[in-house]
Chains A and B, each alone.
Chain A
Amino acid sequence: MSPVSNDLELELKHLIIDTLELEDVTPDDIDRDEPLFVEGLGLDSIDALELGLALQKTYGIKLDADSEESRHHFADLKSLAALVEARRVK
Chain B
Amino acid sequence: MSSSTDIPRHWARIQESGSVAGMRIMVWIRRHLGRLPFRVMLGLVIVYYYLCQSLPRRASREYLQRIWPLHAGHLPRWRAWLGLKHFMAFGQSLMDKVDAWSGVPLDVRLAPEDRACLDRAIRSGRGGLMLVSHVGNLEICSAMSDTRDDFHVTQLMHTRNSRKFNQLLDRSTRRRGPEIVEVTEITPATALGLAERIDAGGFVVIAADRIPIDEQGRVRPLEFLGATALFPEGPFWLAALLRCPIYTLSCLREGGSHRVEFRPFDDTSTLRRADRDAWREAAMQRYVAWLTDQCRRYPLQWFNFFPFWQTDDRYAS
* Chain A positions near chain B (C-beta within 8 angstroms): 20-21, 45-46, 48-50, 52-53, 56-57, 62-66
Contact A21 B241 (CB under 8 A): no
Determine whether B188 belongs to the interface, using a CB cutoff of 8 Å to chain A. Answer: yes
User: Which residues of chain B come closer than 8 Å to A63, judged between CB atoms?
Assistant: 192
The residues of B that contact A53 with a CB separation of less than 8 Å are 191-192, 195, 241-243
Q: Which residue of B lies closest to A46 (CB)?
A: B241
Of the candidates A20, A45, A52, which one forms a contact with B192 in the assembled complex, judged by CB atoms under 8 Å apart? A52
User: 10 tightest A-B contacts by CB?
Assistant: A65-B188, A65-B189, A49-B188, A21-B273, A66-B189, A53-B195, A65-B192, A63-B192, A52-B192, A56-B195
Q: Please determine whether A66 and B273 come into contact, CB atoms closer than 8 angstroms.
A: no
Q: Is B150 an interface residue (CB 8 A)?
A: no
The minimal Cβ–Cβ distance linking A22 to chain B, given in whole angstroms, is 10
Q: Out of A20, A50, A62, A64, which one reaches B241, CB within 8 Å?
A: A50
User: A-side binding surface: helix, strand, loop or mixed?
Assistant: helix
Contact A45 B188 (CB under 8 A): yes
Residues of A within 8 Å of B51, CB to CB, are none
> Contact between A48 and B188 (Cβ–Cβ < 8 Å)?
yes
Show 12 A/B contacts (Cβ-Cβ < 8 Å), sorted by A: A20-B273, A52-B188, A53-B191, A53-B195, A53-B241, A56-B195, A56-B196, A56-B199, A63-B192, A64-B189, A65-B191, A66-B187
Q: State in angstroms the CA–CA spacing of A83 and B199 once bound together.
A: 20
Q: Which residues of A contact B272 (CB under 8 A)?
A: 21
* Chain A residue at smallest Cβ distance from B272: A21
Report the Cα distance A64→B189, complex, angstroms: 6
- What are the interface flags for B252-272 relative to A under an 8 Å C-beta threshold, 1 for contact and 0 otherwise? 000000000000000000001
Q: Does B274 contact A (CB under 8 A)?
A: yes
Q: Which residues of B contact A65 (CB under 8 A)?
A: 187-189, 191-192
The docked-state distance in angstroms from the alpha carbon of A20 to that of B241 is 11
As a 0/1 sequence over residues 223 to 259 of chain B, the CB contacts with chain A under 8 angstroms (1 = contact) are 0000000000000000001110000000000000000
Kindly state the separation between the CA atoms of A15 and B93 in the bound complex, as whole angstroms: 47
| B153-165 Cβ-contact flags toward A at 8 Å (1 or 0) | 0000000000000
CB distance from A66 to the nearest CB of B (A): 5
Partner pick for A21 among B195, B199, B274, CB 8 A cutoff: B274
Q: Are B196 and A66 in contact (CB under 8 A)?
A: no
**Chain A residue, CB-CB nearest to B276:** A46
List residues of B (169-225) whose CB comes within 8 Å of A's CBs.
187-189, 191-192, 195-196, 199
The answer to whether A49 and B274 touch across the interface, beta carbons within 8 angstroms, is no
Question: How many Å from the CB of B188 to the closest CB on chain A?
Answer: 4
Q: State in angstroms the CA–CA spacing of A65 and B191 once bound together.
A: 9
Given the interface pairs A21-B273, A21-B274, A49-B241, the reply to whether A56 lies near B192 with Cβ below 8 Å is yes
Q: What residues of A have a CB within 8 angstroms of the CB of B188 in the complex?
A: 45, 48-49, 52, 65-66
Tell me the B263-317 residues at the A interface (CB within 8 Å).
Answer: 272-274
